[in-house]
Amino acid sequence: MKLQSKQQLLEQIEHARSQWEALLAEIGLERMMMPGAMGDWTGKDVVAHLTTWWRREVAGLEAVRRGEQPEPHPSQRDVQVINSWIHYTNRDRLLSEILHEASAVWQQFAANLQALPEPELMQPGRFAWLGEEALGPNALDNFLGHLHEEHEPEIRTWLDRLTSTG
């Protein structure tokens, strides 16, 4: 669906958040600490990983709100180092903290989009660093794409394995 307005963008975020919460409920607290959600990572590890990268999207929107250009995406080599750091720094944290932060980052993402004027969000080419893309749909694609394209399929496969063996 091509988003035409800020309202549609915000509605899409709420819909996506409902889907995210349904996925978390499907995993369940009792399975969140089990390995295999992504390689040997647990569900908790994946939530911490996503939350950290989602914070980057939030920081980018906050930079735009301050009139600054967000930092460019790191190189693929750097992404691997960052992912290892994320896993290492979060592996011993409480699940409740990780889930609370994930919820908070969704709220921050939506709040930052809500705070930006519709032309800044929806006008293609408004920001030179985005080329002909519009900020709002680009931010939403980055935020959700990481989940839906990179991690949700693997999580679903893991859940299927757990269900068929459990």
Domain ranges of the chain: 6-165
pLDDT at 139 over 90: yes
**Which tens digit of pLDDT belongs to each residue from 79-104?**
889 989 999 999 999 999 999 999 99
Spatial CA neighbour of 59 closest among 12, 5, 130, 112: 112
Helix, strand, coil shares of the chain, percent, nearest 5, are 70, 5, 25
Instruction: Report the run of H or E that residue 13 belongs to, with start and end.
Output: helix 6-27
Residue 77: pLDDT band with limits 50, 70, 90? confident
Phi/psi of residue 37, each to 5°?
Answer: -65, -30
pLDDT at 51: 97
Residue 118: pLDDT band with limits 50, 70, 90? very high
pLDDT at 67: 94
| Average pLDDT of the residues of the chain | 93
Structural tokens at position 75: 């190189």
* CATH class of the structural domain 6-165: mainly alpha
Q: What's the rounded Cα separation, in Å, for the pair 61 and 4?
A: 19
Residue 166: pLDDT band with limits 50, 70, 90? low
Counting every residue written for the chain, the total comes to 166
Q: Show the beta-strand stretches assigned E in the chain.
A: 35-38, 41-42
Q: What letter would DSSP give residue 72?
A: P
Residue 43: pLDDT band with limits 50, 70, 90? very high
pTM of full prediction above 0.95: no
Q: What is residue 151's three-state secondary structure? A: helix
